[in-house]
Structure 1
Amino acid sequence: MSGKRYMISGGGTGGHIYPAIAIAEELQSRHPDAKFLFVGAKDKMEMTKVPEAGFKIEGLWISGIQRKLSLANLMFPFKLISSILKSKRLLKSFKPNVVIGTGGFASGPLLKAASSLNIPTLIQEQNAYAGITNKWLAKEANTICVAYEGMDKFFPKDKIVLTGNPIRKDLLEVSSKKEEAIKYFDLDHEKKTLLIIGGSLGSQRINELIVDHISLFEDENLQVLWQCGKLYYDRYKHLSTANLKVLEFISKMDLAYAASDVIISRAGAGAVSELSLVGKPVIFIPSPNVAEDHQTKNAKSLEDKQAAIMLKESDLDNKFVATFRGLIRDTDLQKELSKHIVQLAKPLATKSIVDEVEHIESQLK
């Protein structure tokens, strides 16, 4: 088979899917004739988001291990074996040059199978605390691209390359899209816009916070774009008005960022990377329900550099109103946060990762 061929896997949440798509798009821009095949978990959001981005995807019968004893955990060994066997069939049929994994349990079987067939692999780890799948795969990977210093406590030092996190191309320049964004979301030019994003699946705690403070946003004369998430949309859609747009999912995030003046967000690695690039003032509300509390570490590192405000969930009842009012009424503080957060951006991360993919290929010749 002639031409370059790449298999890419990563999923479960947008934090794994969108980096995978960003890497594929950069490879495609360099090699327009290249062929791509994504591999995901059968019932997860990558099965719709990847085809929407224009790429083919195959699903595996795989899921993560639950923290508590459950029937799903008893099934895990069977799912893993089944997924590794299917991955081997796909690899032998597609014959990729390199296999790329961006984390999430779906990438485990594919990269494990690739290594067993001596097909080179590259891992991309978004977080400061490495995920279980990537730790499992690290020993056999050719290269491990990371976004944070000090990752040699998880991975072999000689395989690590500090690149930053991949960013979708449409987010590299949002400032010129304000007019288009206001039209797209049917917003009022005269009002400031608050964007609320609780992760791709939504956040119950952030959603409850918004419901409790709708009158606060009205008092401050704000219009709100609120991505409440797939799991919560039916519960909150009745609250939608001209000034409070309740959205299940925002597919055009570039326009959402362009429209916004202030942002409330979770502090996943993907969100932090995107928001650094976008350069708007942000209040991060880290999720406490993640491995090693890594979202708090992400948000704290920005707060320490005066690049964002962090509010822990446990502080929301006491501090949210004063903190939010303080930010929305202080244009100097908004400018200060914007100036500092944009200094942390790594706009060339996707290019750097694809450089590493090409370096692996050059060693095969």
Structure 2
Amino acid sequence: MAHKVIIAGGGTGGHIFPAIAIANALRKLEPDIDILFVGATGKMEMEKVPQAGYPIEGLEIAGFNRSNMFKNLLLPFKLLKSLRQARNILARFQPDVAVGVGGYASFPILKAAQKKGIPTLIQEQNSYAGKSNKWLGRKATKICTGYEGMEKFFPAEKLLYTGNPVRSAISQSAVAKDEALRHFGLMMGKPTILAVGGSLGAKSINEAILPRLADFVNADVQLIWQTGKLYYEQAKAAAAPFATHVKVYDFINVMDFAYKASDAVISRAGALAIAELCVVKKPVVFVPYPFAAEDHQTMNAMSLVNKKAALLIKDDEAGSRLVNETLSLVQNKALMEQLERNIAPLGNTNADMTIARAVLGLI
């Protein structure tokens, strides 16, 4: 009989892509394994997971809305409904183990699985654990962490430090730099910066770059700019006069090409972005998203900044500092080399397999 595994969570690429990496590793270890994803209806995972070749079911769940308290009135009803949906999925699919990767959908599935006595594994990506994972952690069978020192959030005997999974397309990419630059229509021999605000884009990064596009051209620096959907049309129009140096995308599907083409990166500090940047060994300027739960992005970034492996600019200072400091970074050979040297040992290309083995170990 093939083993059955549910992988629950999503909301952003930061949760979805590590989940797919774990699923792919499980398939490598056990080719006939039966994997079902559970996500939140209307969120990004409902599109990205089927593209990766896995079935997915959606729960009608939403997260706590910090900016509009009014929207939270329906939250208790949505939670109850999603718990009922989760129980139905478990009864129908009968998994041997349930894996939660963070994001809205992981809570109802893991909560319902724990109630039924199904082994559960939490993949906690961040250096500061979120509330629902802390709560689920009390009854979880195993907790795989992206950072060390997580005993302050979880029972020590359940912890397994694995690092965060990185897509094999990135960790095992064989693309050459000239090929990557050609893909984006850029030239060899010019410093190239990649700006990414996560899968949904980043307002402060976009707003810092938009009025300064001419400065990239004047410095003869190339820019690959992933804006997210909301900002794309405005950015594309603004970049039109600077098309030789500035390439704008709402979402980049071939991140291995984007990393290979770039000399330095501007990025949010989500756990997945950090894991990828450590693997590709790129000098990076982090602009942590300050409204992430418990400000975990700042803590994630500081774990690298303290090792002199990255630079950090606060979100509210991006407008005044980001472009100047990134342009001067790519012209500072000694600093570029120092950042590369210090980020390189932090890369982990084997986390997906370690987590997959831990999942199978619970069956």
Same fold, TM exceeding 0.5? yes
Is the Cα–Cα contact under 8 Å of residues 174 and 278 in structure 1 kept in the other structure? no
What is the SS of the residue equivalent to 2:209? helix
1:202–1:142 distance in 2 versus 1, CA, 3 Å: same
1:314–1:149 distance in 2 versus 1, CA, 3 Å: same
From 329, 337, 342, give the equivalent of 1:327. 329
Using the TM superposition, give the Cα deviation of residue 187 of structure 1 relative to its aligned residue in structure 2, in angstroms: 2.1
How many residue pairs get matched? 360
Matched residue type, 2:359: V
Using the TM superposition, give the Cα deviation of residue 86 of structure 1 relative to its aligned residue in structure 2, in angstroms: 1.4
Question: What residue in structure 2 maps to residue 203 of structure 1?
Answer: 202
Question: What residue in structure 2 maps to residue 56 of structure 1?
Answer: 55
Using the TM superposition, give the Cα deviation of residue 189 of structure 1 relative to its aligned residue in structure 2, in angstroms: 2.3
> What is the rounded CA distance, in whole Å, between the counterparts of 1:182 and 1:278 in structure 2?
16
> What is the rounded CA distance, in whole Å, between the counterparts of 1:97 and 1:325 in structure 2?
51
Using the TM superposition, give the Cα deviation of residue 322 of structure 1 relative to its aligned residue in structure 2, in angstroms: 4.4
What is the SS of the residue equivalent to 2:144? strand
What is the SS of the residue equivalent to 2:358? helix
For the pair 1:178 / 2:177, whether they are aligned, the reply is yes
From 345, 355, 358, give the equivalent of 2:357. 355
What is the SS of the residue equivalent to 1:307? coil
> What is the rounded CA distance, in whole Å, between the counterparts of 1:197 and 1:187 in structure 2?
17
Matched residue type, 1:162: Y
From 264, 284, 290, give the equivalent of 1:282. 284
Question: What residue in structure 1 maps to residue 91 of structure 2?
Answer: 92
Deviations 1:92-150 (A, max 9, x none): 22121211110112111111111122111100011111112212211221001112222
Question: What residue in structure 2 maps to residue 262 of structure 1?
Answer: 264
Deviations 1:303-357 (A, max 9, x none): 2212111111233354435422331112222122111101111222112111211
Question: What residue in structure 2 maps to residue 309 of structure 1?
Answer: 311
Question: What residue in structure 2 maps to residue 142 of structure 1?
Answer: 141
Larger relative contact order (Cα-Cα within 8 Å, sequence gap ≥ 6): 2
Deviations 1:36-64 (A, max 9, x none): 11000001111111111111110110001
For the pair 1:245 / 2:244, whether they are aligned, the reply is no
1:125–1:290 distance in 2 versus 1, CA, 3 Å: same
For the pair 1:33 / 2:32, whether they are aligned, the reply is yes
Is the Cα–Cα contact under 8 Å of residues 283 and 309 in structure 1 kept in the other structure? yes
1:100–1:214 distance in 2 versus 1, CA, 3 Å: same
The answer for unaligned runs of 5 or more in structure 1 is: none
Question: What's the TM-score, normalizing by structure 2?
Answer: 0.94
Matched residue type, 1:77: P
> What is the rounded CA distance, in whole Å, between the counterparts of 2:173 and 2:331 in structure 1?
24
**Of 127-136 and 19-28, the range deviating more from structure 2:** 127-136
**Of 88-97 and 19-28, the range deviating more from structure 2:** 88-97
Matched residue type, 1:65: F
> What is the rounded CA distance, in whole Å, between the counterparts of 1:34 and 1:177 in structure 2?
34
Is the Cα–Cα contact under 8 Å of residues 175 and 258 in structure 1 kept in the other structure? no
**Of 121-130 and 347-356, the range deviating more from structure 2:** 347-356
> What is the rounded CA distance, in whole Å, between the counterparts of 1:157 and 1:130 in structure 2?
14
Question: What residue in structure 1 maps to residue 112 of structure 2?
Answer: 113
> What is the rounded CA distance, in whole Å, between the counterparts of 2:134 and 2:177 in structure 1?
41
What is the SS of the residue equivalent to 2:95? coil
Matched residue type, 1:225: I
Using the TM superposition, give the Cα deviation of residue 301 of structure 1 relative to its aligned residue in structure 2, in angstroms: 2.0
The answer for unaligned runs of 5 or more in structure 2 is: none
Is the Cα–Cα contact under 8 Å of residues 329 and 335 in structure 2 kept in the other structure? yes
Structural mapping, 1:116-127, within 5 Å: 116-127=115-126
How well do the aligned residues superpose, as a CA RMSD in angstroms?
1.7
**Of 298-307 and 259-268, the range deviating more from structure 2:** 298-307
Matched residue type, 2:219: E
Question: What residue in structure 2 maps to residue 191 of structure 1?
Answer: 190
Question: What residue in structure 2 maps to residue 344 of structure 1?
Answer: 346
1:237–1:98 distance in 2 versus 1, CA, 3 Å: same
1:82–1:91 distance in 2 versus 1, CA, 3 Å: same
> What is the rounded CA distance, in whole Å, between the counterparts of 1:112 and 1:264 in structure 2?
37
What is the SS of the residue equivalent to 1:44? coil
Is the Cα–Cα contact under 8 Å of residues 107 and 133 in structure 1 kept in the other structure? no
Is the Cα–Cα contact under 8 Å of residues 208 and 323 in structure 2 kept in the other structure? no
